[in-house]
Copies of this chain bind each other. A is one copy, B any other.
Amino acid sequence: DVRQGKGNVIVNHAMISKRHYNAALKIIRKVASAGYTVSPLVRVFEEGEGFEGRRVPKGKVMIATLCSITLDAILHHAGIPISPMFGGMVQVLERKPLRFTDLISYSGSTLDPLEIFSAKGLSSVLKAVETGNGYVLANFREIPMDAMVKAKEELKKAEKFSINGVLRIGEPNTPVLGVPVRINHVGIAVLGGTNMLTALSEVGIPVEIKAIEGFMDIKEMVDINELSLKS
């Protein structure tokens, strides 16, 4: 039950080389403090440590970050049906989200849309962080319009536990960042939890990203700013 700051959340994984750890930490902090992600909460797994049947190989470090689908789980627990519609790229102009420039529907793809945009090298998360102009990964979700007020309350509660990520909540039957919604629905644009990880590949740090990769107790995660650099 995330409303009380406990319970399981859904995480993305990034595997990087140990020697890139300090550089990666600085970039992830930067992206987190600029707010282009779901949460500053992370968990670092050192080489040899195991997680859900996988073991971190020698010379590697695995960083788990909160996946935006955690927000779906929060709303589902509150009895609000939320449908993932699209993964996409949002253009950021002068620090404001402007519009979705590309979309891939979840229902029409066997690959994770955000992993696709990340792999195609279409994002410029770090540029968005540094200059205020760039392209970031985001999802488009829909809830029934009757659930709008309740959903806003629940998302507000989650913020207290460092779970954010909502870019824009629309009005009933009104497009959000240029994307139309189904009748009697409200669109919600949510930042991708992988923005922090995609930023790593943007600077040339080899990173293997897996979206929606596992569960984790939120109490096992720490704020990225509390982690110290390795010597």
Q: How far is the CB of A124 from chain B (nearest CB, A)?
A: 16
In the bound complex, CA of A56 to CA of B116 (Å)? 28
Q: How far is the CB of A102 from chain B (nearest CB, A)?
A: 5
| Contact assessment for A108 and B109 in the assembled complex, using a CB-CB cutoff below 8 Å | yes
Chain A, residues 105-117, CB within 8 Å of chain B (1/0): the string is 1011111000110
In the bound complex, CA of A110 to CA of B86 (Å)? 11
Q: How far is the CB of A104 from chain B (nearest CB, A)?
A: 4
Return chain B residues, CB-CB under 8 Å to A104: 104, 108-111
Contact of A105 among B102, B109, B115 (CB under 8 A): B109
| Contact assessment for A110 and B102 in the assembled complex, using a CB-CB cutoff below 8 Å | yes
Return chain B residues, CB-CB under 8 Å to A54: none
Copies of this chain, tallied across the complex: 2
Return chain B residues, CB-CB under 8 Å to A108: 86, 103-105, 107-109
| Contact assessment for A116 and B120 in the assembled complex, using a CB-CB cutoff below 8 Å | yes
Using CB atoms, name the residue of chain B closest to A115. Answer: B120
In the bound complex, CA of A111 to CA of B100 (Å)? 13
In the complex, A222 has a CB within 8 A of chain B: no
In the complex, A23 has a CB within 8 A of chain B: no
In the bound complex, CA of A88 to CA of B33 (Å)? 38
In the complex, A203 has a CB within 8 A of chain B: no
In the bound complex, CA of A116 to CA of B116 (Å)? 7
Return chain B residues, CB-CB under 8 Å to A103: 108-110
Return chain B residues, CB-CB under 8 Å to A110: 88, 102-104
In the complex, A119 has a CB within 8 A of chain B: yes
Return chain B residues, CB-CB under 8 Å to A120: 111, 115-116, 119-120
In the bound complex, CA of A108 to CA of B116 (Å)? 13
Provide a sorted-by-A list of 27 A–B residue pairs whose CB atoms are within 8 angstroms.
Answer: A86-B108, A88-B110, A102-B110, A102-B111, A103-B108, A103-B110, A104-B108, A104-B109, A104-B110, A104-B111, A105-B105, A105-B108, A105-B109, A107-B108, A108-B108, A108-B109, A109-B109, A111-B116, A111-B120, A115-B120, A116-B116, A116-B119, A116-B120, A119-B119, A119-B120, A119-B121, A120-B120
